[in-house]
Amino acid sequence: MIEFSAVHKRYPGGYEALKGVSFTVADAELLFVTGHSGAGKSTLLKLIPVIERVNSGSVMVNGQNVSAMAARAIPFLRRNIGQIFQDQKLLYDRSVFDNVILPLNVTGVHPKEGAKRARAALDKVGLLKREKSNPIALSGGEQQRLAIARAIVNRPSILIADEPTANLDSQYAGEIVDLFVDFNRVGVTVMIATHDEQVIARASAKATTRSLTLTQGVLAP
């Protein structure tokens, strides 16, 4: 369960990206965050794995007040949150397989067990055949799916995706939406930031969804 209470976020330089945002996400919900470019969607998502910290208010994740969490504890929080970044953050100096196994290496999972899980994740997004390629040789849609595989390899209970379909044409975008709906079905809490109404429409046709709309840092009622 995720709960934002009166969250304010001001960036260095003085810009207020979030102005008193409060909402609750139940377990196994599929939630969209929409709004214009610059509305604060990415900022909102970054507060959950504490990539940014709030200036006032609080963010609770599974009963923990993560906005006041000690730096030491943050890695362990992040291991339970699958993240898909707006700029993907793939490593282009290693193979697809090595990209996916990274979160498991980070936690010290046994290499054999890790390889099994990484292949399972790649299989789920349909990239098992490309495991030896370099991400640079993948098309835009394939790179997006690779980012998803890396986010789910740790079997997180929360999945956060920031514009996972930008740069993709509607066919690829649709496939990726379907993947998120599938994860949501097996009990994962999914939060997706997007400005693409087609994406929301497609997901809503297949599952129960909810949308939060941000306008210049304020949540529409």
Ligand X SMILES: Nc1ncnc2c1ncn2[C@@H]1O[C@H](COP(=O)(O)OP(=O)(O)OP(=O)(O)O)[C@@H](O)[C@H]1O
Cβ atoms within 10 Å, residue 69 = 16
Q: What is the per-residue binding string for a copy of itself in 188-207, x denoting contact by CB under 8 A?
A: -------x------------
Place of tokens 């929360």: 158
By beta-carbon distance, which residue lies closest to ligand X?
Answer: 140
- By CB under 8 A, residue 220 contacts a copy of itself: no
Q: What is the per-residue binding string for other proteins in 165-204, x denoting contact by CB under 8 A?
A: ----------------------------------------
Q: Choosing among Mg ion, other proteins, a copy of itself, none, which partner's interface includes residue 37 (Cβ < 5 to 8 Å by kind)?
A: a copy of itself
Q: What is the DSSP letter of 79?
A: T
Rg (CA), the chain: 17
Residue type, 176: I
H or E element that contains 141? helix 140-152
Tokens of 190: 């999914």
Stretch that binds other proteins, among 34-42, 107-115, 168-176, 207-215 (CB under 8 A): 107-115
Q: What is the per-residue binding string for a copy of itself in 96-135, x denoting contact by CB under 8 A?
A: -------------------------------------xx-
* Residue 35 Rama label (left phi>0; alpha psi -120 to 50; beta): left
Q: How far apart are CA 208 and CA 112, in angstroms?
A: 38
Q: Choosing among ligand X, a copy of itself, Mg ion, none, which partner's interface includes residue 166 (Cβ < 5 to 8 Å by kind)?
A: a copy of itself
Query: In degrees rounded to 5, what are phi and psi of residue 198?
Result: -60, -40
Positions that interact with other proteins (CB under 8 A): 12, 49-53, 55, 71-72, 74-79, 83, 85, 89, 91-93, 102-103, 105-110, 150
